[in-house]
Amino acid sequence: MIYTDTRDSSVKTDFRTAVMNGMNSATGGLYIPVSFPKLDSSFINKNPEPSFRDIAFNMAKPYVENEIPDEDLMAIICDAYPFSPKVVPVDSTSYVLELFHGPTCAFKDFGARFMARVMSYFNRTEKGTLHILVATSGDTGSAVGSAFHNVPGLDVTILYPEGKISKIQEKQLSTFTGNVRALKVKGTFDDCQKLVKTAFTDADLRKQFRLSSANSINISRLLPQSFYYMYSSLVVKNRAPLDSKLENPAILAVVPSGNFGNLTSGLIAKEMGAPIEGFVAATNSNNTIPDWIATGDYNARPSVETYANAMDVGAPSNYERIKTMYSLEQVRSMFASYWLDNEGIKEAITDCNTKTGYTIDPHGAIGWKAWDDIRSGAMESLVNGKKNDYKKPGLTPSVPAWADKIVSKNAVGIILETAHPAKFGSIVAEATGREPVIPESLAEVMNLPDQAIPMENNYAKFKEWLKSNLAE
């Protein structure tokens, strides 16, 4: 596969370079494959559907062709995924796609574990340590730290906004030892991301260290996230006629979004033939993308804090990829978008629990509410000309190409549940009246000592720290 760059389409490079560089420091652009090959229809139409690992292997293959042999790719996939995504029906037309069965209980395990193994594979023939710098709004850091922990030749420095993530998230981040460490930055997620981005474009620093990113800007995190869209849409395609009594319902993927890496992966799966009719981009008050879809103007802004804090992103990096792949009109035909403020998030957790019995986390809750609102009247009102003010929470006033499938009640939704509810236990308990059960992997981490290193929101200080603390 040839990879190009979102800012300069004359760039042509291979998978190895795209993965190891993270982003193109010469242009500041993001790597993107030049094509998204379709899977064979005989593979897609299997009933029962192929296994998650088979899907993962077949989807990854074209992107690593000639660089990773089949046996090695299969070994990477088996080692990355000792767990699977789970499709859980919650009513006759809604499925929750549980993406939290990995070691850190969030969907980022899918991307991070694949990336770590691919980087380690390519790094075997390089000299010296490869330094990963990663900014996190919560779940990225722990997924990346866990995925790279004790991987030889690799070293990870995580930056997170102090006091702006949940207690469990902070524990997960601050208790790593050995080749993984966390810096708690006095600032926001966007500040952390800026420090990391500045480091990547710092020629002086790059002379001393081999640096790479692990944020969702890295293509090796984005590609594997497309696997579970394919998997879940095939599962749902096969079972929805039985559950819903609809013959051939449209399948919509509802995606709680922050940096829009997850949604971009969904677009890749659709390109590759996943039977997904369209997407609902669901955000919290950091509604930069819903505003763009409503008005056509893209205005990045400082992030604001919410209960769904892994989505507190005011300047989503993957906007640049989406814009390179599609026109605004194409985006509007594929996407509905929807956002909730904090009060709405809490009500959504309660609402999901009351209507379905399912305990959902604050991120997934936005997806649940978006889907439930859209199917029970919001889309029909919009189609009939009753436009919601885009500055108020709810469905953004832009009608996707698939709106008629909703109005005629011929659609089912897959809601991506991106984190385990216990990671956000206090708000979930307030909303449902019950503490969610804490999975064992989370309980263990609560007893480990906190090792995070304090860091000011200042690039010169950050650079100085890197220079005097990292091994070359």
Binding mask 355-394 for ligand PLP (x = CB under 6 A): --------x-------------------------------
Binding status of residue 256 toward ligand PLP by CB under 6 A: yes
How is residue 130 written in tokens?
A: 């490869």
* Contacts (CB under 6 A) with ligand PLP, residues 307-326: 310-311
Binding status of residue 114 toward ligand PLP by CB under 6 A: no
Point out which residues pair with 308 in neighbouring strands: none
* Total interface residues for ligand PLP by CB under 6 A: 17
Contacts of 327 (CB under 8 A, 6+ apart): none
Part in contact with ligand PLP (CB under 6 A); list of ranges 3-11, 257-265, 350-358, 391-399: 257-265
Binding status of residue 261 toward ligand PLP by CB under 6 A: yes
* From 188, 262, 303, 396, residue interacting with ligand PLP (rule: CB under 6 A): 262
* From 81, 114, 160, 260, residue interacting with ligand PLP (rule: CB under 6 A): 260
Binding status of residue 4 toward ligand PLP by CB under 6 A: no
Binding status of residue 419 toward ligand PLP by CB under 6 A: yes
Q: Which is nearer to ligand PLP, 139 or 291 (CB)?
A: 139
Pairing of strands 180-185, 154-161: parallel
- The CA–CA distances, whole Å, from 196 to 85, 133, 157, 311, 333 equal 31, 6, 10, 18, 34
Binding status of residue 5 toward ligand PLP by CB under 6 A: no
How is residue 412 written in tokens?
A: 């089912």
Q: What share of the chain is helix, strand, coil (3-state, %, to 5)?
A: 45, 15, 35
* Contacts (CB under 6 A) with ligand PLP, residues 263-302: none
Over the Cα atoms of the chain, what is R_g? 21
How is residue 120 written in tokens?
A: 């380690």
Whether residue 11 contacts residue 24, with contact meaning beta carbons closer than 8 Å, is answered with: yes
* From 117, 418, 421, 431, residue interacting with ligand PLP (rule: CB under 6 A): 418
How is residue 355 written in tokens?
A: 């209507």
* From 39, 106, 219, 236, residue interacting with ligand PLP (rule: CB under 6 A): 106
Q: Reduced to 3 states, what is the DSSP secondary structure of residue 173?
A: helix
Binding status of residue 259 toward ligand PLP by CB under 6 A: yes
Tell which residue, 311, 299, 306, 224, has the closest CA to residue 269. 224
> Smallest distance from the beta carbon of 110 to ligand PLP, in angstroms?
11
The secondary structure of residue 135, as a DSSP letter, is: E
Whether residue 393 contacts residue 283, with contact meaning beta carbons closer than 8 Å, is answered with: no
Part in contact with ligand PLP (CB under 6 A); list of ranges 64-72, 255-263, 294-302, 337-345: 255-263
Binding site for ligand PLP (CB under 6 A): 106, 108, 138-139, 216, 256-262, 310-311, 363, 418-419
